[in-house]
Chains A and B, each alone.
Chain A
Amino acid sequence: MNVSNALEPTVISEFARISGLKNPDFEVKPRLDGNAVIIRIAEPSERFFQAALDVSNEAESSGITSVTIKKGMPKNRLQSPEARYFLRTLSESLNINRFSFGDDFFARYTRSVSNAEDQILARANHVVYGRRGAGKSSLLLYAMRSRQNEGEFSAWIDMQVFERRNDPAVAIDIFLEVFRQVAESSTLKPEIQLLETELKRIKAEGQNDENRLRLMLPSIRNSLASIGKMFIFLDDFHVLDIDAQPKILGLLYSVTRGNNIFLKLSAIETLTRTWNTKDHAGLQIPQDAQTIKLDYNLTVPERASEHIEGILDAHAKYCGLPSVKFLCNSPDVLARLVWVSAGVPRDALNMFTQAITKATSNNRTRVAVSDVNMATSEMVSQKMRELDVDLAGSPDRPAISKVLDGIKDFCVKQQKKNAFLIEIRNSDPLYQDVLKLVDLRLLHVISEGVTVGEAGRKYLALILDYGLYTGVRAAPSVDLFNKAMQRVGRKELRTLPILKKIDTSTS
């Protein structure tokens, strides 16, 4: 057995275990009193050097004098261990939960475009709005991890568990989950244990009547107060039945208000109702809670570009790559990625993951624009699946699909353009449907206020999701708006066709 083979299962695998970089490129060189192991990494960061030091200390007894990290250019960038690690890391980062990124969270976190981090840490209730993948959960997690670093307690509730529910027991389940998470870090006080037992009993008996729960609210309020100041994070709140949302918020708020406990929600705006005007229940914006909007669509392309590149760079550097551009064959790749992902970070990460896979299967050493295009057309089917999830059980579901088909028909077949204008009229059902399609990332806002001739009328400028009409290349018959992917002027926006109505009967 040669030296390399003998070392591989020990030093190298231990290095891989500590650093996360599997099968790194390495060589062994003889020294006066043993052997030195030299591991090559494209752009090693401190944590790789630290991993090598940790391994060195362990390896001394087996005749290894040192484990050294050396900067080295991989022969095939996309097939390199660093790129494979990057791919794995991107996949892991697509779904955020309270455990995501472990201790490395801050090394891999990229601040939001709007610097929402300071706001979310404030001792106030917040609703973070944004489309799927806009970074809502990441922002909540930023707040939770920051508080953990300060030794402060938070509870994280993944609302997906309560999808489409419309019963007061949701609030019971949330209280029970908060108590369960408190018990993870400290022993529950006897009065909380009693309360927990009572809540479980109500649930088990199926007596989910709201009045019974309301009678218990003062006790719950006192119990939560005894835990101390707390943030309760409710991630993806919009998945609850929309009619139940203000009711559940009202129940939660009645025990948190003035009790040093703050609610932090993430949600998709058009699928969320925080306040029920009729019943006066829920969280009223802005007096009870403030909103933080993360989504800028394509209205400020340069900021979206900077943000997405920043996120990809943070992951690339974490994996030992100099930057994400290192894996691209031209600057156009990232520009295209930002445009087709419409500034939605998770879509960009997902599409770039797919693009790397496409490029690798075509034996390319770097990602090309055509790989991004192919990834985009596949991404649209995922968005359509998400449309089913987000609108599950909603009477809107068939109408929205028809509206989308109608808009596609208007743009691609009739106007042969991929962008259009619609008058901003909140009372117009078509306009409301368009906003829902924006939230579902099938349409993207390119300008929030365009005037076309007549004073007093304002229009929203939108672009169809690229995946709706592109394959490897864009559909040749469609006149692509803003091919240069830059901020567009008002003059150009005014030339776009105006969508006034669509025929849903034939779609």
Chain B
Amino acid sequence: MPTSPHILLAAPNVRKMQTNLANLLSHASIVSIEGAITENVVQLYRLGRNHYLFARRQTNRDWRQKISRFYYGAYNVSRSVRLAHNGEFNTDVSDHKKIESLPPGFPNTALYQNQLIALREDRNLCDYDHTSSITSLALDVVSTESLVTNFLVDARTFLASKGITL
């Protein structure tokens, strides 16, 4: 959670803030804001990647943790992409429902939208439903790993196309 002073707390949407200050601030200041946004994009992506790498190390015996961490891997990478694209950043629980909101130009959008919704439901089931078993998952563990792996790769390519090197 960022604490003040922090670029992501400067306005509800830092991209909009950056655009609206364009005539007031010097070019160097605008570039500096861009740099701070990019830094957060990179950190969010890395956070997602850490969850992903942790998930990969888990065995299927720990399927609840494995799916849950894969979900957080995808969720934080989705946040990273959304921040880069339109300055969207939110720590509210409702932001989880935006995991599938991907920007235009992101590859295989329908696939990711559909599968990330299923992953979010699977994660809820893993973390909160004591009656569920591994067969309750909509996407099995192998499919989930493949989905998140591809999502991270596509997100990296997409961010690179926006000039953000991870």
Contact = CB atoms under 8 A, between A and B. Distances in A.
A, B co-complexed: yes
B138 interface: yes
Nearest to B113: A53
A396 B21 CA distance: 82
A46 B109 CA distance: 8
A32 B124 contact: yes
A71 B114 contact: no
Interface size class on chain A is 20 to 34
Contacts of A47: 110
A70 B117 contact: no
Contacts of B124: 31-32
Interface of A is mostly: strand
A70 B143 contact: yes
Contacts of B111: 44, 46, 49
Contacts of B108: 46, 49
Nearest to B119: A68
A460 B148 CA distance: 58
A504 B64 CA distance: 81
Contact of A69 (B114, B121, B129): B114
Contacts of A38: 118, 138
B99 interface: no
Given A31-B121, A46-B108, A68 B115 contact: yes
Interface in B107-166: 108-111, 113-115, 117-118, 121, 124-125, 128-129, 136, 138-139, 143
B121 A66 contact: yes
A65 interface: yes
A52 B110 CA distance: 9
Contact of B138 (A49, A56, A66, A71): A66
A36 interface: yes
Contact of B118 (A30, A36, A44, A46): A36
A38 B119 CA distance: 12
B110 A36 contact: no
Given A29-B138, A30-B136, A32-B128, A68 B118 contact: yes
A10 interface: no
A31 B139 CA distance: 13
A50 interface: yes
A50 B143 CA distance: 19
A50 B112 CA distance: 10
Contacts of A67: 114
Residue of B110, B111, B129 with most chain A CB atoms under a 10 A cut-off = B110
A53 B111 CA distance: 9
A36 B138 contact: yes
14 contacts: A29-B136, A32-B121, A32-B125, A38-B118, A49-B113, A49-B114, A53-B110, A56-B114, A66-B117, A66-B121, A68-B117, A68-B118, A68-B138, A70-B143
Given A53-B113, A68-B138, 16 more contacts: A29-B138, A30-B136, A32-B124, A32-B125, A32-B128, A32-B129, A36-B118, A36-B121, A36-B138, A46-B109, A49-B108, A49-B110, A49-B113, A50-B114, A68-B117, A69-B114
Interchain residue pairs A-B with the least CB separation, the first 7? A49-B110, A50-B110, A68-B118, A49-B114, A49-B111, A46-B110, A68-B138
